[in-house]
Structure 1
C-alpha cells in the first residue's frame, strides 16, 4: 500500500506546514505500545507514552491527520459534548465535576502543547455560542450562572441579540454568549506538529499502513497489509474508521460525514470583528470561523453513508446562505467532507475490551479538546494509573439499534427528526 495524498479539496491541505510522507510498515517489529490511528487521540497517546519512556509504534492507514482530526472546524470548546446539567443528572455532581475539570485540562493541554512544541497552527482565543431559538435563551443564562456559581468558571459573557449580531455579522440568532477561554486553530497543522513532537520523543510513525487484525494473545500481534507489530499494549484510536477491528466498539460508535467550505478571502467584509469561532445551538450544528487570510470557513450538513453529496460546495452553501445571505454568491474556493464518529449519548467511548487493549473514540464533534485529552488518559492507564480513563469507561454506552446493517438507516431517521426540530 502506498502513502496517499491529502485531500486536495480541503483548505487545510492548501495551507499545510509539513507534507512529508512517513514510510509504510513492511517488516516485523516489536514495541511496548502499538497505536492504531494517526489522528488527535493516537498522536496524543503516542506523544505521552514516548515522553514517559515507552517504545511506541504508530500505524496510520492514510496520512497523519487524514481523517476527522485534519478536516474539522478547528474549534476548541469548554466542557464535554453534553452540558453540566445533563452530566449531573446522569452521573451525579461529583462525577460531573471530574468531567468538567478534565475538559478544562484539555484546553490547557492544547495551549501548552502549541507553546512547548512551537506548533504553528493559527491559534486564536474566543468562541461564541449562538442560540437559534428564543425559548432557549433562558437555558443559556442558567447554564452560564451554573458554571460561574458551581464550577468557578467566569469566562462566559452573555450577549443579547444586538450584541451577538454585532459580534458575528448576522441577525439570524436571538442571543448567546462568548467564551473567552475557548478558541480555534488549524487542526491539520496542529496534529502534524504533535506528530513531529512524538517522533522527536522516539515514536516511530508509519503511514499507508492499514491494520487488518488485532490479535488476542500476549504480547498482542497487530497484523498490517505488509508487516506486523508485537506489542504489550495496543491503543485503538481509529474513530470513524473501525471496520472489522473491534466489534463491540463498532456497535457503539457510528461513523457519519460532515461538510465544510472555505470562501474566497472576504477582506473588509469579514463578519467577525473579534475573530472568534462560532457554533450554534442546533442538534446538527452550524459552525464557522475566519481563516488568517479572512476566508469564511463554514461547516454545516451531515450525511449518514460513505457517499458524499455530488456537489459539496452547493450542499454547504445553502446552510451558509441562511446565516449569511450577504455571502450567498461568494466564490467557494474549497469544499470538503470528513468522517467523524458519534455515540448514542454523545459522550466519548472509552473501554478496555481485553487485557492490553485501550479504545477511545466517538467524540461526537467535540474531539479537538477531548480526543487530545484521551491520549493523556491512555498514557496514564498504560503506565498503571487508569483512574481517569475509567471515569469515562464507566459511562453506560448502548449499542446503536439495528445491528451492523440497520443502524445507519435508523440513525439517519433519528437525525432527520432532529434536523426538523432545528427548523421548527
Structure 2
C-alpha cells in the first residue's frame, strides 16, 4: 500500500497497465465555482461530469492523483445491487422503495457501459458475472435470491448447477452459481481516468495534489487546501474512506477496511481461457469472500482477504496464493507479479449512505465494497439534486444509518471481533 512518490498511483497491475494520464496542477490561490467536489474518484467525477454537461462550472480537488483511492485499485467487478442484501433494504425502507432503489442500481451498471461507449474509454469491459456456491447452504441461498430477484424485482439471472458452471469455470470448488449476463468487469483505473478526461472535455477543472483541509459552511461554502480555496454554491464530498474530519458528523457512520487484490504472471491466452471460458467475473458468497477474473493480457486477477484493523495481513502474497490455488489447484506453479491493497468505506448496515448536510453540502459514502456501479449512480443522483430534482437522493437519504459502536477507541476492536465470528461461520457451516 506504499506510495512510490507523492504524485504516483499505488503500484499495482492497474497502474502498470493504465493508459497514460497527465499530472494536473494543484490548486493555487482563490477560485469560485458553481460546484466544488472533494475527490477525483468515481463518485466525484461522475457528479462533476453530469453537472458540467448541464452547464455548471465545476472544480474537483484531489489529494493525490485522479483515481488514487479505491476507484483505481478495486476488484473491477460491476454488479447490480448494493453492499447489503436487497431484503435488508426492503426491511428498512419498504418494498416499493426498495424496488425503486434496485432498479436504480441496475441503471448504475448500464451507466458504466454507456459512459465507456460515449467517451471511448479503453476500460477492457467484459460482460458476465457469477455468484458461486461453496456449500449446500450457499446453493439454497442463491436459489432463494434468484426467486426473489425474479418475483419481487423483475430481474432475471440464470441458475447454473455444478455441471453447467464447471463447463465455464474450471474449478472443483463450487457447487453451482447465479450467472448475470448484464453485469461484468473492467479495468477500474482506466475507467476512472477516462471519466476524468470526459469531465475535463465538458469543462471540469481537476486539481491534483490538493488535499482538502477544511470545509467552511454557509450560504456559499468554501473548501480550503494548503495553498488555496474554492468558494461555490454547492459542495460535493466524495472522499469516502480517505476523507476525515471534513464533516465530522459523517465520520462515525463509516469504517475504513483494507482489501487486497493480486495479479498473476501472464498465463498465456490458452491457459487463461481454460480457467474461465466465457471470460466472466466470479465471486463466492462467503462473508470473507474470494473474487476473481481474467485480465486483458491473460493474467488471473484474484481478490480476497480483508483487514478490519486496516493493517495489511502478514505474508499477503503467500496467503493470496494459497487462496487462489484452493480455487484453481492447476495454478500451483503460478506466482503473483503484484499484490496491492487499499481502503474501502463500509457502513454499519452495509447500505449506501448518501444525502445532504444543510442545503448545499452533498455527500456519498458507505459503498461497502460494492461501488463500481453504485458510485456512478451516486454522482448522477447528487447532480440531479443540485439541479433541483432531489427525489432520488431523498429516497437514499431515508435509509437509516447508525454510528459504529465503541467510539474512536473501541470501534475497530469491536469490528475485528465481529468479523472473526463471521469468518468462523464461513469455515464451520
Whether contact under 8 Å (1:377, 1:388) holds in the other structure is yes
Name the CA distance, whole Å, in 2 between partners of 1:249 and 1:86.
22
Q: Deviations over 1:100-155 (max 9, x none)?
A: 1101111111111011001110000000111122123123112212322333222x
2:166 alignment partner in structure 1 = 165
Work out the number of aligned pairs and report it. 421
CA distance in 2, matches of 1:350, 1:86: 17
Q: Does 2:39 match 1:46?
A: no
* Alignment correspondent of 2:131: 129
Distance 1:314 1:160 in 2: 31
- SS of residue paired to 2:213: strand
Q: Is the 8 A contact 1:38 1:58 kept in 2?
A: yes
Alpha-carbon displacement from aligned partner over 1:18-46 (angstroms, at most 9, x marks no partner): 23111011211000111001111011011
8 Å Cα contact 2:38-2:62 kept in structure 1: yes
Alpha-carbon distance in 1 for matches of 2:410, 2:86: 32
Q: Distance in 1 between matches of 2:366 and 2:322?
A: 28
- Over 3 Å counting, the alpha-carbon distance change for 1:129 and 1:306 in structure 2 is closer
**Residues of 2 paired with 1:87 and 1:309: CA distance?**
32
Q: Distance in 1 between matches of 2:217 and 2:10?
A: 35
CA contact (8 A) 1:3 1:21 kept: no
Q: Which runs of 5+ in 1 are unaligned?
A: none
Q: Is the 8 A contact 1:342 1:364 kept in 2?
A: yes
Question: Quick one: distance in 1 between partners of 2:168 and 2:134?
Answer: 15
Kept in 2, the 8 Å contact 1:3–1:24? The answer is no
Alpha-carbon offset, residue 318 of structure 1: 2.3
For structure 2, the residue ranges without an aligned partner over 5 or more in a row are none
Could you list the per-position Cα deviations for residues 149-206 of structure 1 after superposition, in whole angstroms to 9, with x for gaps in the alignment?
333222x111111222232211112211110100000000001101001001110000
Judge which range, 280-289 or 161-170, deviates more.
161-170
Q: Once the 2 structures are TM-superposed, how far is the Cα of residue 311 of structure 1 from its aligned partner?
A: 3.8
Q: Structure 1 residue 367 and structure 2 residue 371: aligned?
A: yes
Q: Structure 2 length normalisation: TM-score?
A: 0.95
- Establish whether residue 285 from structure 1 lines up as the match of residue 289 from structure 2: yes
Is residue 256–residue 340 contact of structure 1 (8 Å, CA) maintained in 2?
yes
1:7 shift after superposition:
1.6
| CA offset digits 1:279-321 (Å, max 9, x no partner) | 1101122110000111000000011234323543223222222
Q: 2:165–2:177: 8 Å Cα contact kept in structure 1?
A: yes
Moved more, 159-168 or 363-372: 159-168
Moved more, 243-252 or 67-76: 243-252
Corresponding residue for 2:324? 320
Aligned counterpart in structure 1 of residue 425 of structure 2, from 380, 405, 421: 421
Root-mean-square deviation (Å)? 1.4
